[in-house]
Each structure stands twice: as structure tokens, then as C-alpha cells.
Structure 1
Amino acid sequence: MRNGFLVLVAAVALALWCSEPPAPKAANAPADQFSAGRAFLDIAEIAQRPHPIGSADHERVKAYLVSRLTAMGLTPVTQSERILRQGHGRAVSAPITNIIATLKGADAQAPAVLVMSHYDTVPDSPGAADDTAGVASALEIAHVMQRAGTPPRDIIFLFTDGEEMGLLGATAFFAHHPLVSHIGAVINLEARGDSGRVNMFETGPNNRAAIALWRAEVSHPTANSLASAIYKLMPNDTDMTLSVQRGLPGLNFAFMGDEMAYHTPVSTPEHINLGSVQDMGNSALAAVKAFAATIPAQTENSVYSDFLGVFLIQYSFFTGWVLFAAAALAMFTAIFLAQRSTPFAWGRGILGALFAIGVPALLLWLAGLSFGAVHHYMRVAYFDYLLAGAGLIALGAGLFCAGSFEDRWRPAAVWQVLMLITLALATAFQLYMPEGAYVIVWPLLAASCIAILRYGVFRGEDHFGAVLVTGLVALIFIAQVVMMALMAFTSLGVDLPLVLVAPLLPVLLLTLVVPGGRLPRAVSLLILIGGAALFAYGRMAPPTSTHPQPTIVSYVYDAGSGKAYRAEYLSNGDAWTKAVLGPNAQKGPLPWFSRRSGWFTETKAVPVPSADLSVARLGDKLEVTMTAAPGAAYAELSFRDKAGAGPEELMPAAKQSNARDVRYFAPDRFTWEVPVPKSGALEIRASVLYPEWPEAAQKLPSLPEGKMAFSYHAATEVMLKREWKK
């Protein structure tokens, strides 16, 4: 019992230690080194306040970047245009200004390296991390590369605009800018949260050479090909999506710890972890240096992963099959040696293994269900408690179930069955996602080697040498799996705690195969109970100033009915929301737009900025004109024919699209053309958002401790509706 407990505790401690970002270097660090202290000077200046498109602070940041680049001796140029991006049934349009500066290289004809970050933020967030940290890191990288002398090739620094609106600046750059043909490789800097290690989570196509070049230059990297493979299947996008679509090689970096700061007022310069900025700079600077020397060729993809965040392992898909075969051979050898040394009960082993995986899966699924419809940002407030709780629930339940089928005279073959299950999963990964098979193959190979040592070399004698050697191997590989589990939970686990079942399998396997690895059921039960208590606290703890809940309260004027409302779109009906909305607050479909729900109450109608919506037929098209008063942040149009479907195609600016919903930023007046619907009747709904609360309306009280503004909080929405019929 003591061995297994010590191995687990030491492995978790090692994983947590390896997951810490490096210490930030001071502003007086040598000029040839990336300094988070110097980068912070830019973060503090840029992230004073939110700076979304259309705001005064957006203009302030734009001017600052141009001035900063000019002071560095570069010659910044701007790319300004209104850009339209469409997809997934939606279209978005906004005026953007990209800022571009080139550090000239020795060979002006050689393909250039593009370093990309975005300088706009969402409303209500200063964006110290997303993406001011990326912008400041790019500026510091330019400083370091400038001091190092003339690089072998041009290095282009692109500060995109409108990323938060839908990758608009990157869309404009890659669609229209002449420098695109000069680019040979891309490095993108992003953030989701404001702490933690920086992960290189996405690459361009055929990444083997890009990874190899970066690997030779970087120290203490964090990256793995499973994350990149999974990211391709997700709907998430960054500016690098546009370069990937063009087939350019590249690397995408981001840190994502403390997600409470992602897109919220918490993301201030004082809150950001400078160690994370240092980690981003170290990793990205290594990529810039590597690609400046050699633009990566594009031949094939590869398998790669950092090991404990210390070094990067990379190999081909063929080598992956070789390792898989070696793990399978070692596994069957280990099972044979163990069975020859100590006959195991396979029936109880099968039951123990199935329960050791199935029961934790059930408990984690129920833990996820406990959130109900609670908004994501209300879940992440106590992230650390949820992470620790979910991990202990999985581990405690797994070890309890595995130990419940043991017998003092004839042990159950639990670890052998877990090996067979692991081999089956490894086979599936090798066939369908070879980039991710290593997460199964490496622990399986390690566990098999431990068993071979235990039953073949030490012949089942659990003396000090056997325990020491096998325990150290298990400790290192369990720590590696725990680091993967931390990343998986940070990416998906708050909304889907069930994700921890995947790393639980190799952790159980490695723990149980060590001599004395099984914990008494009483200890396992205590771990389970402790995990449940931590998760429950993380789920139920009240909001505080350091663990706030988001809120969006709007004043809504329905021009069709002449009625006005106060609405809250995120709340779970807490006392503050009910006090703000009044005693008649109710939750349900919104009267002005029944396809959305929230808390609302009718209030006194007061003067609001004007807005108008008109429809005219022009041949086989309908011309929809939206007019808003000055100062509107955006207007949103929604098209539905009377049968409930959207038009087959929309044609904004003479470009065809299948968009049914359109968001148009800085919308003073614009026209949208749609085909005449086949049903002969079209419903058009419009929402115009003004970022300020109406002057004549009763003022909102200040947000209390434990509440934070989110998105366009304290804004005015004007709702309009038109129906067109033949």
C-alpha cells in the first residue's frame, strides 16, 4: 500500500512542478534574451482598458503600436478595409486596420517568417492575455531579433484587427495583401486564460520538418501531436486558421490557465502570470530563430510530444507502429511471466478492470450533469477545486473498484486486463489517429517493462531493488500522464469531467503493476470522498471578488410593440439579478425574440437611439436596408421564411452565401440583398446594440463583489421586425 501511495503522490507533485511556467526575466535582462519584464511594459500600456473595434481605446492602441514600431526603427504600414467573413450559416462584417512591420533580412527574395498576433479585444475585457500578451511578445521578439543583427530572411510582424469578431483582420490579410506571396512560415501567438505553461497546440500541414527545426532550438517545450489532431476536429479558430487553409507551415502557441480571465474584466496587467509570458516568448522566439534560418519543408506529419515539459520526442508514423509492436510484444511477455510466477484469477480481473473504468466514468458523468444549464463562466470560477476534485474522484473510485475484487490467496488479474484494454485502444489510435497513439503506447510499454522486471528479472520478489526500480519508472510515466490529464481538463474538463477517464486508464495500469501498488479500499474510499467534497465545493461555493460570476444586463426596446425591458442573459436567477430586474422578473422565452431565453422584466420606455429597417423588392432580390444612429456597436439581422427555413442563399456585396444571420459592426447604414424566398414570405428581425445605457432610464446599481461585466454589459438594444410578402 505504501509503495503505490508514495508513487502516486510523488508523480502528481512532479507533474505539478513540471507544469509551472518559468520564472520571468527582468526588464534589464540581456538584449539577446526574451524578457517578460520588458514585454510587461507594453502589456501595461495596451491593456489599460478594453479596446474592441469601434472604441476610442481601439484607436489609442492602434496609434501606440504604430508609434512603438516606429521607435524601434521599423516602418509600420496599415491595411484598412471593411471585410466580410461567412460560414456556418453566419456572416460578419466590420472595418479593420491591420498593422504590419518588416524586419529586413539579408536575402529579401527568400520566403519570409510571419509572426502574428491580434490587438483587438472583446468588450469589457482589457485583454491583458488575449491577446495583448501575444502582441507584447511579438514586440519583444522583434527587439531581440533586431539586436541579434540582420536575420537571414525577412521577419514580418502582423498585428491583426477584428480577430474577436471572427478572424476578420487575418481574413483581409491573407485574401488581399501582397505580402502573402512572400510568406514561407507562420508563427501565431494566442491566449485563453492568463496563466500556465504555453502549449504549441496547432501546426501547419505536413509538420515533421517544422517540429524538428523548432525542437532543435527550443528548451523546455510543451507540445503534443494529439492536441493538434483533436484541435483539427474542433470548431475553434484562431488567426492561424487562415494560414493553415493556405497550406503554409507554422506553429500556434497559447497558454490557457485560469480561464476566468478569458474574455472578462479579470484579464488585467496585474492579474497576468508573467511566467506564462516568459514561456510564450521563449517558445516563440525559438521558432522564429529556427524558421529564420530554414523555412521548413512540407513532406509528412509526425508524432511528437514533450516529456514532462523538459524535452520533445518526435518520430515518424512508421516508428509509431514499431513502438506499438514493441509494446504489444512486451505486454504479452509480461502477462506470460506474471501468470507463470503467480496464477491470477481472470474472471475477477475482468470484473475489476471493467468496474475500475466504468464506475469512475459514471461518477464523472454525473459530476458534469450537476452543472445543469449553468453558464460556462460560472463553472470555471473555482477551477482548481473542480480539477482536484474530479481527479481524486476518478482515482479513488478506480482504485477502490480494482481492489474490491482482490483475494488474499489468489490475486485478480486486474492489471493484465487493463493492459489488454489499453492495447485495444492503442490499436484503434494507430489505425485512425496515429498522431495520438503515443498517449496509450508509452504507458503500456512502461507498464509492460515494469511487469517484466518484476516477474522476469526479480522473479516476483518484492525486495527494495525491485520496488525502487519499478517505482521510479512508474513515477515518471504516471507524472507524464498526469500532465496530459491537466491539459485535457483545462481544455475540456470543466464542461466535460468525463474526459479524465482517458488518462485514468494508464494511471491505474502503472499504479497496480508496481509491487505494493494496490491501496486498501479504506484509503481509496477516502480519496474518493475527498474528491467529491472538493468538487462539490467548486460547484457550490459562492462568488467572490476573486471568483466572480459574469453578468450581462441590457435595456431592450422593442420598436414593434413600443415596450421596453430589462434583460439578463447569463444569470441563474440570483438575488442581485432579481433586485436589478425587479419583483416581476421571470425566466423564459424573450418576448421580443422567442428563440432566446433569459431573465427579463418589463420596464418604463424611455428615449433610445433611433434605428430603422426597410425592405424593397428589386427583381428577384429583396434589398434590406438597416439604418442605425451614430455610436452603434453593431446591428444583427436574422432571416427566416414563413416555413421556418432561411433563404437558400444571400448575396451581400454581390457575393453568394448561405448565411441566415448577419452581424454588421459600425453599421450606420448598410444594405443586404437576399433572394426572394420560394414561400413568398420572409421574416426579418434586427437588433441594434448601442454600448451605453439610456440616459433617461433608471441607472443600474454598481456591480457587487462577486459579479463582473461580460460582453456588452449595460448596453441598449433596439429590436425591429419586418415581414415581407408577395
Structure 2
Amino acid sequence: MPAERSRRRRRVSSRAGRVPGLILVVVLLGLVAWSVAALQPPAPRPADAPTDEFSAARAFEHVQQIAAQTHVAGSDADAQVVEGLVDTLSALGLDTRVQNSVGAWQYEAGSTEMARVRNVVAVLPGSDPTGRLFLMAHHDSVETGPGAADDAAGVSALLEAVRALAAGPQLRNDVVVVLTDAEEACLCGAEAFADSHPLAAGGGVVLNFEARGTSGPPIMFETSRGNAGLADAFAAAAPHPVASSFAVEVYRALPNDTDFSVLLGDGDFTGLNTAFIDGAAGYHTPQDVPERLDRATLQALGDNALAVARELGDRDLVPLSEAGKDDASYFPVLGRLVRYPGSLVWPLAGAALLGVAVLALVLRRRGISTLRRTAAGTALALVPLVLAPLAAQGLWSLLVLIRPDYGSMLDPWRPGWYRLATVAVVLAVVLIWYALLRRRIGPASLAAGGLVWLAVLAAVLAAVAPGGSYLAAWPALAGAVAGILVAVADNRVVRLAAALVAGAVAVVVLAPTVALFFPALGLRTGVAPSFVATMMVVALLPAVEMLFADPDGERGSWAAVAVPGTAVVLAVACAAVGLSVDRFDAEHPVPSQLVYALDSDTGQAWWASTEDDPGAYTAFYVDGRETLPVDFPYLAGEDVATGPAQAADLPAPGVTPVSDVVVGGKRQITVRVAPQRPGVRLLVLDLSVEGGTVTGAQAAGRDVPDVALGEDRLWITFHAPPPSGLQATFTVDGDGPVQLRVIDGSDGLSGLPGFEPRPDGVDAAGTHSSDLVLVGATTALG
């Protein structure tokens, strides 16, 4: 009986000992929820909101007009959009003009992309300008959808913001509204503006507005270099300051571009780039319609555009128009933007390294852990840091196995439950690892080992991506200081307080990044946000330990099973709910990418798809993989899924020689290329010279960039060609034969032999080549 009473007392003591730990974990989970909720956009304001405020309802009326139909560059529908934009801006009192030009971008040796563009440019004059503030978005849509989010939302946000600016006190600086054309095709509208518009000559500060989804908080994700001054202005003005210097570092490392990239590349501009990115399944698809656009997102986008424009409109733009000395570090914390100079990045990383080193020595001095045990904990901490993100990625692979049509998607239509399941998988892996090792290695040794890797990561990031070092430096430093205090004080109250403070630092720094990186990178590449989630869970180990704490030292503690088991159950439950909730239907279709290509020289035709694993609908047309024997845009040199197609009665573009003369010892050939079928939105001119080089070229009066010249082949992709035809001139050095292969492209597969319309629940994928019809032929030029 005494033994039974003793065991009963130990069980009661164990449960009582875990209660504070349970409360602590609940508080930290609440802080996670608060940190994520603070990122979310506000409720949209109605149409009768005060005139000096931004109203999503008023802006949405513009979205409905702009995105009433697909309006690709050069189309009649886009011409109507341009006309409406001119009327709207003129009615607001702005001096509004249309820039008709030809832009060239995305060029490299042997190739370039060009486009005929119509930029809408309007000026709101300032009272005493110190420079120009440019507000930029693009008015064209992709070929596969009306572009309500991308970028009718950005254009509409600027129209409503400019209305509020024009109705208020005159700003100090000139505000130039630039609504570019052909962004989706080649960024050529922005290039034409930077290259030849008089208002671009002196440069200035640019605020660009984009979208890569249909919802979520607008994120200021890219800046010019030396951004400290602009980051301060953004933080001071933006009512919804969702931004991260780590996002800036990531985007700089990616090959992605927007109109903002073009102006930065010009060298005369600085600025900020903003986009909302959740709801990626609808990006560039027929489902990017006004009804799917989140009005709260539109409100947040417009609030920030208006507030930051007012801030910069009254500031001295001279220092902001040039790159500052360094980049700032900044990140969102509970609705505010924490920021500090880049000069503090290395001191903080160094402090984190020093902190964990001191922690290891204090643990040894206090007899809590030997250096050998701390080293073992450090080595073993690599296991969850590697295994948890891989397990999270494995969950996505399992979901694709269950639902194969996910394979071509960045994110499902309704990813919320899957994201929770992914975080739960991370939590389960870390907790299982911890439960298995905490008695053998020691809780303090494992927690310290995790902090060592965070401190090392802080130093690595300080060297290669300084704007991201904060992610590891602050949790490592806070955890090290807390650990030292606990080791020295050896007091339960101190232990709770230290775990709360260190855990809170880790949560407010890392939870927003996890929440933002899931939509940014998608579940398809969920390993990256999962790694950040793993960092957060590892930093929270001192708080988690209080759920495991067993005062009587019993080895069979139920918590060692129950705590990680709860995470496993949560992961399974969330994944199951996700599979139930996210189903394909007419409004949330399976994406299908299909191209028809016809070579008029041989009469051979193909169906082709860039899908890695073609879905059921696409597989009806393709039966293998190959590189097509002749080059077509978007397919040239690529291993694509293909299948034989019946040759359609489609004429190839006509090539008419205009002149062939020798100038300065070089052959100069001028041709006119005219589409022979309606709806052509692009022309490819593929000139090859046997034994010679192309030393000069011009299309529609615009010189081809020098970078593209000097090879024996020149590939020009010209978007929005003139309906009457495109005139091009080539200068060739060499006496060898010259041939010109010309390809035109139009949208829509209906009417082609063998084509069957997609069934309900399947629709065109969001790519620039979906439903593209390509017809090519070769002309010998002697």
C-alpha cells in the first residue's frame, strides 16, 4: 500500500508539473496564430468611403471593366482597355498620353524578344518637385485568362489611389503613372518606356504592383539595392507593412523578372516591388476572373499604394533616387515592420555565435551537460533539421500519388489544410526525435545543439544573404540568453519565463516567414518553408520540454508517446480533411497544357505538352516524349510530351523580299512577314547563315540589341505584330546561304482536326503556351 500511494503521488505530481508547460505551449500557439493573423489584409471599404481614402469597392469596378475578357497585348480587347484607361486618367485631371513604341527584352546571344506596345503614361504634377515618383502596373493579360488579379488589380489599385491623390492636397513631387503593355509577353512595355520615353530620362523612384495569385496579403518582396531609406519610408507609411528582407534576398537569386526588373536594370531607378501571391492555382488561368479576386487583398494593396505614394510624394526624392550605402534588415512582427541597418547583421550573428558558445560553457560549469554531450546534441540536431523538411516534401509526394493531377500544380486550389498538415509533419518529426533522445543525451544538450546550428546559419546567411540572417540570429541569441539564465538561476519560475520569452522571439520572427513562404513557393517546393518551420520548432524545445518533464524520473512516461503522437494524429487528420475539401470541379479544374505545332515544309504536325506527367485529358493527345525535329517557340530544344496530329489547313506566314543589297561589304536583307490567318499574336523570325554571322538586325523600326548579334543564327520572337505585317532587316557578314524560318502563333485549339473540347473539371493551364497554335515554314533567301 505505501508503494501504491507513492506511485499515485508521483503521477499527481507529474501531471501538476506539466500544467504550466501546457499553458506555456498554448500561449505560444496563440502567439503563432496572432503572428499569422496580423499578416492578413483588412476588410474592404465600401463605395461610399471618404474620398481621401482607398475603397476596394470603387477599385473593383475598374477590375470588372479591365478584366471583362482576355486582353493580350496587341489585341482589340487590350486596345479597348487602353482607351478606357486614358479616359479614366484624363477625367481625373492628369495629362495622359499613349506611348506607341517597340520594346526589346530577354535578349541573349542569338535571340531576343520584342513587342509592339502601347503604354499609358499620365502625370500628376507636384508643387515643388525634387524628383519623380513612378506608379507602375501592367494593363495586358495573359493569353489564357482575363487577368483580374494579374494585373487588373494592380492597375485598378493605382487608378483608385491616384483618384484619392488628385482629390487631396497637391504633393511636392511629380507622380507619373505608367501602365505598361506586353509585360506578360516579354516585359517589353517597361523596356520601351525606360529606353525612349522622355519622362524616364531622369530616372526616379518606382512603386510597382504585381500579382502571382488571387488572394493573400500584398508583400513588398523586392527592392533596389541600398534600400535602407526606402524601407524606412515604407515602414513609416504602409498601413499593412508585410515585407521581409529575406524575401528580397531570395528573389534576387531567382531568374524571375517583372517590369520592376527592367527599370532597375536601366540603372536610373530605385524603388519597391509589391505583389500578392496566395491562390496560385488560379494564376494565369481562365479562372483569374474578377469574382475570384479577394477584395480584402485589393484593399490592402490600395491602402499601401496610396499611403506610400503620399509619403514619397512629399519627401525629398534626391537621396532616395540613388542606392544607399547598404540594405536594411526588416521583417513583420504583429502588424509592424521591425527594421535595422545592415551594419548590424554581422554583430547580431556574432552575438548569436558567442551566446551559444557561452551557453555550452555554462552548461558544463553547472554540471548540466558536458561539452561532449553538447557536441553530441549538436550533431544529432542535424537529424530533424534535415529529416523534417524532407518528410514534409514526402507528404506532398504522397498527395500527388493519391491525386496525380496535383503533379503539375504549384499549389492546390484550397491548400490551407495541407499546409497545416505539412507543419504538423515537421512537428511530429522533431518531437519523435526529441522523445527518443532526451533521456539519453539530455534536454539541455539537445536544445543547445539546435541553437548551435541556428547561430551557424545566422553567420552563413550574413555572408551570402544578409537580409535573411535575422531568421536564425534572433532565435539563436534569445535562446542562448534564456538558456544561460535558466542554467544560472535553476528556478522553475525563471525557466518558465525564459522559455516564454525565447519562444516568443522565435515565433514572431519565424512564424510569419513560414506563413508567407508556403504560398510563395507552393507545396510543390514545401521543403523550404518546412525548413523554416523546423527552425522554429527546434528553437521551441525548452518550452516543449515542459510537456515531457517528469519529476519522478520514470522511464515509461506517457508524454514521450502522447506528445509526438498528437502531432502525428494532427498531420493525418489535416491531410485527410484537405483531400476531402480540395476536389477538382468546374470552378477548380485540373490544369491541362497542350500545343498544336505544324511544320508546313514537311506537312507534319504534332500535339505537344510541357506537362512532366500528362494528365488523363492531355494523355489522349500525347503518347511519348521527344525533342521536336524542328524548333517552335516555347518548345525548342525541350524534351516534351508529344503525339502525332493531323495536318490542319492552316497557311504559314508569308515572306516577301523587299531588298537585298550590299552595304559596307555586308549583305543587307529586308523582308516583310505577314500572317495569313487571323488572330496571330506572335511571329518568330529564325534567320540562319551558313558560314557567316548576323551582325545587325532591325524589326518594326527597332534595332535588335547588340547582345543578340554576332552568331550564325538569330531568333526574334515578336509579340503583337502589326496586322499588316512585320518588316525586318538583317545584316549578314559572309557569303554562305541564308534561310529564314518564320513561325506564327495564335490562341485557341477549337476547330483543329482531332481536337475534343475539355470536359468540365479540366481547363487550360496557366502557361504562355497553353492552347497555342503554331505554324512554321522556311524561305531560302539565297
Please, which of 641, 646, 651 is the counterpart of residue 697 of structure 2?
651
Write out per-residue CA displacement over residues 300-350 of structure 1, whole angstroms, 9 at most, x where no aligned residue: 223232332511222223333333344344434444444444522335413
Please, which of 675, 679, 689 is the counterpart of residue 631 of structure 1?
679
Deviation at 1:441, TM superposition (A): 1.0
Q: How does 1:594-613 map to 2 (within 5 A)?
A: 595-612=637-654
Are 1:407 and 2:454 counterparts?
A: no
Identity between Structure 1 and Structure 2 (%): 24
Contact (CA 8 Å) 2:388, 2:534: kept in 1 or not? Answer: no
Please, which of 245, 250, 270 is the counterpart of residue 225 of structure 1?
245
Q: Partners of 2:147 and 2:374 in 1: how far apart?
A: 56
Contiguous gaps of at least 5 residues in structure 2: 1-17, 549-558
Please, which of 510, 517, 521 is the counterpart of residue 539 of structure 2?
510
Q: Partners of 2:395 and 2:694 in 1: how far apart?
A: 42
The aligned residue for residue 547 of structure 1 is 588
Change (3 A) 1:419 1:682: farther
- Alignment length (residue pairs): 715
Are 1:689 and 2:751 counterparts?
A: no
Deviation at 1:294, TM superposition (A): 1.0
The aligned residue for residue 397 of structure 1 is 429
Change (3 A) 1:209 1:574: closer
Please, which of 192, 195, 198 is the counterpart of residue 218 of structure 2?
198
Q: Secondary structure at the match of 2:412?
A: helix
Contact (CA 8 Å) 2:652, 2:743: kept in 1 or not? Answer: no
Change (3 A) 1:63 1:526: same
Deviation at 1:532, TM superposition (A): 6.7
Change (3 A) 1:203 1:654: closer
Are 1:302 and 2:323 counterparts?
A: no
The aligned residue for residue 140 of structure 2 is 120
Structure 2 counterpart of 1:481, which letter?
L
Please, which of 262, 266, 272 is the counterpart of residue 251 of structure 1?
272
The aligned residue for residue 166 of structure 1 is 186
Write out per-residue CA displacement over residues 570-601 of structure 1, whole angstroms, 9 at most, x where no aligned residue: 3834333345x3xx855444465583444444
Change (3 A) 1:216 1:8: closer
TM-score in terms of structure 2 length: 0.83
Change (3 A) 1:636 1:528: farther
Please, which of 148, 160, 169 is the counterpart of residue 140 of structure 1?
160
Please, which of 411, 418, 439 is the counterpart of residue 380 of structure 1?
411
Are 1:17 and 2:48 counterparts?
A: no
Deviation at 1:140, TM superposition (A): 1.0
The aligned residue for residue 715 of structure 2 is 661
Q: Partners of 2:376 and 2:755 in 1: how far apart?
A: 67
Deviation at 1:398, TM superposition (A): 2.3
Q: Secondary structure at the match of 1:270?
A: helix
Q: Partners of 2:149 and 2:630 in 1: how far apart?
A: 36
Deviation at 1:123, TM superposition (A): 0.7
Change (3 A) 1:374 1:647: farther
The aligned residue for residue 487 of structure 1 is 516
Q: Secondary structure at the match of 1:471?
A: helix
Contact (CA 8 Å) 2:427, 2:534: kept in 1 or not? Answer: no
Contact (CA 8 Å) 2:346, 2:459: kept in 1 or not? Answer: no
Contact (CA 8 Å) 2:54, 2:299: kept in 1 or not? Answer: yes
Are 1:272 and 2:272 counterparts?
A: no
Contiguous gaps of at least 5 residues in structure 1: none
Contact (CA 8 Å) 1:117, 1:134: kept in 2 or not? Answer: yes
The aligned residue for residue 498 of structure 1 is 527
Deviation at 1:36, TM superposition (A): 1.2
Structure 1 counterpart of 2:385, which letter?
I
Contact (CA 8 Å) 2:389, 2:531: kept in 1 or not? Answer: no
**Moved runs in structure 1, 4+ residues, more than 6 A?**
368-376, 535-541, 614-617, 640-643
Deviation at 1:692, TM superposition (A): 4.3
Change (3 A) 1:544 1:248: same
Change (3 A) 1:317 1:537: same
Which shows bigger deviation, 190-199 or 505-514?
505-514
Contact (CA 8 Å) 2:205, 2:269: kept in 1 or not? Answer: yes
Change (3 A) 1:517 1:223: farther
Deviation at 1:455, TM superposition (A): 2.8
Are 1:475 and 2:504 counterparts?
A: yes
Q: How does 1:13-412 map to 2 (within 5 A)?
A: 13-89=33-109, 90-107=111-128, 109-245=129-265, 246-296=267-317, 297=319, 298=322, 299-341=324-366, 343-344=368-369, 345-346=373-374, 348-364=376-392, 366=394, 377-382=408-413, 383-407=415-439, 410-411=442-443
Deviation at 1:695, TM superposition (A): 4.7
Contact (CA 8 Å) 2:694, 2:730: kept in 1 or not? Answer: no
Contact (CA 8 Å) 2:764, 2:771: kept in 1 or not? Answer: no
Q: Partners of 1:413 and 1:512 in 2: how far apart?
A: 11
Which shows bigger deviation, 155-164 or 506-515?
506-515
The aligned residue for residue 763 of structure 2 is 707
Deviation at 1:178, TM superposition (A): 1.0
Structure with greater Cα Rg? 2
Deviation at 1:688, TM superposition (A): 1.3
Which shows bigger deviation, 554-563 or 529-538?
529-538
Structure 2 counterpart of 1:707, which letter?
D
Structure 2 counterpart of 1:503, which letter?
V
Please, which of 487, 512, 515 is the counterpart of residue 455 of structure 1?
487
Structure 2 counterpart of 1:661, which letter?
W
Change (3 A) 1:531 1:675: farther
Write out per-residue CA displacement over residues 423-461 of structure 1, whole angstroms, 9 at most, x where no aligned residue: 2222222233322211111111221233234333xx333
Deviation at 1:530, TM superposition (A): 5.0
TM-score in terms of structure 1 length: 0.89
Q: Partners of 1:420 and 1:601 in 2: how far apart?
A: 54
Q: Secondary structure at the match of 1:407?
A: helix
Deviation at 1:280, TM superposition (A): 1.1
Q: Partners of 2:293 and 2:739 in 1: how far apart?
A: 46
Q: Partners of 1:94 and 1:610 in 2: how far apart?
A: 20
Which shows bigger deviation, 207-216 or 356-365?
356-365
Change (3 A) 1:572 1:704: farther
Structure 1 counterpart of 2:507, which letter?
I
Change (3 A) 1:468 1:374: same
Change (3 A) 1:551 1:624: farther
Q: Secondary structure at the match of 2:220?
A: strand
Q: Partners of 1:374 and 1:648 in 2: how far apart?
A: 45
The aligned residue for residue 556 of structure 2 is none
Q: Partners of 1:274 and 1:423 in 2: how far apart?
A: 41
Contact (CA 8 Å) 1:685, 1:722: kept in 2 or not? Answer: yes
